[in-house]
Amino acid sequence: MCNAKAGVTSSDIREELDVIVNGPIDSPNINIRPTNQVLTITDKNPKEAEYFRWGIAIFSNGTLLKMATWNARYENLESGRTWKKLIGQKHCIVPVRGFYEWQWLDPKGKKKQPYFIKTAGERLTLMAGLWDETADPSTGEIIKSCSVITLPANQMMAKIHNNGERMPAILPKDKYKLWLDAEIPLSEKLELIKTYPDNLLEAVPIQKVGDPEEFKQLAFC
């Protein structure tokens, strides 16, 4: 789940989080997909946001593997081969306007109803994640990449994401800095990763994901 997001602008980041943006100032991508660039704040430099590849980059024999590393299951953070080297070492926040999810209307998902979901009453939705830096063996280029942590869905999200019942790990605005604080023990940080309450999320059915006009008309955007 969590395979599409609506991005933020540089002014969103500056005004809401007092964080500067290292990158082009442009209109937000309202349909960010895995392997796209997404603004990310890391524990390495929590006062600056920059663009990262969504999906941890993993190379094998010089080839970038096509693995589903854009979501990191909370249950596997300390045991999964990809995640255990990052948890406690490389934490990040992915700030977005919201994310999209598709509700299956039939058993095989041939008919789907898309929803736009965000933190209630907030301009930004702050997702907890992990990040990494990987050198492309053929060019030497350093690829900065990230993954969003997911966990079991709350009741509302379980009805929407009814083919998987998962949701991203969302942090309240007054707690996100703790996830990035190198002085806080990992055990305390993991206590922040909880299923977000139903009443603190807003979800609206939409006609088409990534439609600019519809996005503008959403009452809470």
For the chain, 221 residues long, the average pLDDT of each consecutive 10-residue run is 79 92 77 95 96 95 89 97 97 96 92 95 96 94 97 96 95 97 96 96 92 73 51
pTM score of the predicted model:
0.94
Q: Is residue 104 part of a domain?
A: no
Residue 199 DSSP label:
G
Residue 118: beta bridge partners?
A: 202
Report the domain count for the chain.
1
Residue position matching structure tokens 């955007």: 221
Residue position matching structure tokens 């942090």: 171
| Alpha-carbon gap, residue 117 to 93, rounded angstroms | 17
Q: What is the pLDDT of residue 9?
A: 84
Q: Is residue 219 part of a domain?
A: no
Q: Is residue 210 part of a domain?
A: no
Q: Is residue 162 part of a domain?
A: no
In whole angstroms, what separates CA 75 from the centre of its chain?
17
Q: Is residue 87 part of a domain?
A: yes
CA dihedral 82, 145, 136, 60 (to 10 degrees): 30
Phi, psi of 38 (to 5 degrees): -140, 140
Q: Residue 12: which CATH number?
A: 3.90.1680.10
Q: Is residue 208 part of a domain?
A: no
| Alpha-carbon gap, residue 132 to 107, rounded angstroms | 37
Containing structural domain, residue 66:
5-98+121-153+167-202
Q: Is residue 198 part of a domain?
A: yes
Q: Is residue 159 part of a domain?
A: no
Q: What is the pLDDT of residue 26?
A: 63
